[in-house]
Amino acid sequence: MFFGVTLLAFGFIRILPGDPILTIAGERSMKPEQYAVMMERLGFDKPVWEQYLDYILGILQGDFGTSFLTNRPIIEEFMELFPATVELGVCAMLFAVVIGLPAGIFAAVKRRTFYDQGIMGISLVGYSMPIFWWGLLLIILFSNILSLTPVSGRISFLYDVETVTGFLLIDSLLGDEDGAFWSALHHLVLPSIVLGTIPLAIIARQTRSAMLEVLSEDYVRTAKAKGLSPIRIYGLHALRNAMITVITVIGLQVGVLLAGAILTETIFSWPGIGKWIIFSVFSRDYFAVQGGLVLIAMCVMSVNLIVDLMYGLINPRILHTR
């Protein structure tokens, strides 16, 4: 999968129209000999297969290339911007799980009732909502009309928080500026809702499906016959066995969050990986796009591996299954 991602990332940027050398030159005129020197310096004069081989060998050595525009290592720029995307993604996932999980459980318990149909209908609308359109609607409503949330950015310009971890919520708590934490949290609300809407809908629907399957098992009927409380029946016996499916869905949503972050960060001017990749695409910064896509894919694969390892913690019987 890793090598497949590198091949897609390498080929994706090269099929886009435009010449990176001319993009770097901008409005300045460039002589043919200068153009040839730039092609040789960046390695574009080599055959495509050789460029890809050099790219793979560099990645295996921890070298993801150097940006055309900033002349900085890609891994350095990525690590500088990644905390902002992680902070947004974690808040969006918390929003999705805290609302989606109980909604899915409630819909399963109230199967074929008005509540079930209402929750599933709302989740279908949320799943079908384009992020760019949904984000603009919320900005118009909560920022322009109601003036409840900021339009863009991570924190008010009134605060100058020293960067320690890169996570603004943590850095604002470590700092001594009063109100900085609440300002950072205030700026996170709307982007988190926009980014977390689709995962919320998916989690709610998949939780309902998993719970319905578990609620038909004999041990649940036995628990009801014993007169156990609904909390023990649904929260302990049913939910624990349904969590395998739910955890899998949550893990898969990490890719959805990182993909949606590209649009969300662009809409809200959030200084993260998504906005950086969009800017790199328009600038034809080959190495930045390639490196960014591969690093994001590595993060998604790592999360999926962690989810697989969590199965044994949720249900120890999996560890002994052959």
Q: What CATH number is given to the structural domain containing 156? A: 1.10.3720.10
Domain-located, residue 51: no
Per-residue pLDDT averaged across 237-246, rounded?
78
pLDDT computed for residue 16 by the predictor: 73
Domain-located, residue 161: yes
AA letter at 322 = R
Per-residue pLDDT averaged across 23-39, rounded?
71
Does residue 236 register a pLDDT over 90?
Answer: no
What the block records as the tokens of 44 is: 């574009």
Domain-located, residue 21: no
Does residue 267 register a pLDDT over 60?
Answer: yes
| Band of residue 152 on the pLDDT scale cut at 50, 70, 90 | confident
Does residue 322 register a pLDDT over 70?
Answer: no
- Mean of pLDDT over the chain: 83
Distance between CA atoms of residues 21 and 26, nearest Å: 9
Nearest residue to 99 (alpha-carbon basis) of 116, 78, 123:
123
- For tokens 């008010």, name the residue: 156
- Domain housing 259: 74-320
Domain-located, residue 23: no
Does residue 24 register a pLDDT over 80?
Answer: no
Please, are residues 207 and 100 in contact by the beta-carbon 8 Å criterion? yes
Q: How many domains does the chain have?
A: 1
- For tokens 């249900």, name the residue: 315
- For tokens 């609308």, name the residue: 125
pLDDT computed for residue 160 by the predictor: 84
Does residue 120 register a pLDDT over 80?
Answer: yes
Q: Which of 187-201, 220-234, 288-302 has the lowest mean pLDDT?
A: 220-234
Distance between CA atoms of residues 84 and 62, nearest Å: 22
Does residue 283 register a pLDDT over 90?
Answer: no
Please, are residues 73 and 66 in contact by the beta-carbon 8 Å criterion? yes
Give the distance between the most distant pair of CA atoms in the chain: 86
Domain-located, residue 278: yes
- For tokens 């730039």, name the residue: 38
Torsion of CA 243, 246, 248, 253, to 10 degrees: -150
- Supply the pTM of this predicted model: 0.82
pLDDT tens-digit readout, 202-233: 999 988 888 888 887 777 778 778 777 777 77
Q: Which residues does 107 contact at the CB level (< 8 Å), separation at least 6? A: 115, 116, 119, 120, 204, 208
Question: Degrees (nearest 5) of the Cα angle 3, 131, 243?
Answer: 65
Domain-located, residue 52: no
pLDDT computed for residue 315 by the predictor: 65
Q: Which residues does 69 contact at the CB level (< 8 Å), separation at least 6? A: 24, 280, 283, 285, 288
pLDDT computed for residue 140 by the predictor: 92
Question: Degrees (nearest 5) of the Cα angle 30, 33, 39?
Answer: 85
Torsion of CA 18, 55, 271, 100, to 10 degrees: 110
Per-residue pLDDT averaged across 93-99, rounded?
92
Does residue 57 register a pLDDT over 60?
Answer: yes
Distance between CA atoms of residues 123 and 274, nearest Å: 25
Does residue 95 register a pLDDT over 90?
Answer: yes
The dihedral through the CA atoms of 193, 197, 199, 205 has a sign that is positive
pLDDT computed for residue 316 by the predictor: 67
Domain-located, residue 294: yes
Domain-located, residue 20: no
